[in-house]
Structure 1
């Protein structure tokens, strides 16, 4: 779900931007930053692009079926109205 490589890059950038006196802790800080980022991103309940695309296709098919059913209902209502007039 979450691109681990991108998280590593972000954590590395954060550790690199720290003052030189703190860089001795860079490895530990990078790991902690990665853990925090992964934890917070996991809480966001994100979906992958693939999951999003699948749900988009499902929604499109559902809309098409709904439009077909609406048309069939309109046709049936028209036929019923015609048969009521002829009686």
Structure 2
């Protein structure tokens, strides 16, 4: 779930719980959406896309570490001869 859909979902739930919010219209919904968005921003949450990008970067780094460990082991073996 992306940050945007979380914000929309929370705003809709708040609107359902507070009928006066629904009656007040889009302006109040936007105010609630903005407040929720600010709260989430302070939590330093990642979007799904950012999380997936970091996961891919970590996988590449782990692969490179394995390659380097193998190279070091080969060099150590060569030096022991």
Fold shared per TM-score above 0.5? yes
Q: 1:16 to 1:49 in 2, by over 3 A?
A: closer
Tell me the equivalent position of 1:85. Answer: none
TM-score when normalising by structure 2: 0.70
Quick one: distance in 1 between partners of 2:55 and 2:30? 36
**Which range is displaced more, 24-33 or 9-18?**
24-33
Tell me the equivalent position of 1:13. Answer: 13
Quick one: distance in 1 between partners of 2:8 and 2:78? 65
Post-superposition CA distance 1:7-40 (Å, at most 9, x none): 3443343233237xx5697446544432321210
In structure 2, runs of 5+ residues without a counterpart are none
TM-score when normalising by structure 1: 0.66
Tell me the equivalent position of 2:46. Answer: 47
**Contact 1:15 / 1:26 at 8 angstroms: preserved in 2?**
no
Q: Which has the larger radius of gyration?
A: 1
Quick one: distance in 2 between partners of 1:24 and 1:67? 56
Task: Determine helix, strand or coil for the equivalent of 1:64.
Answer: helix
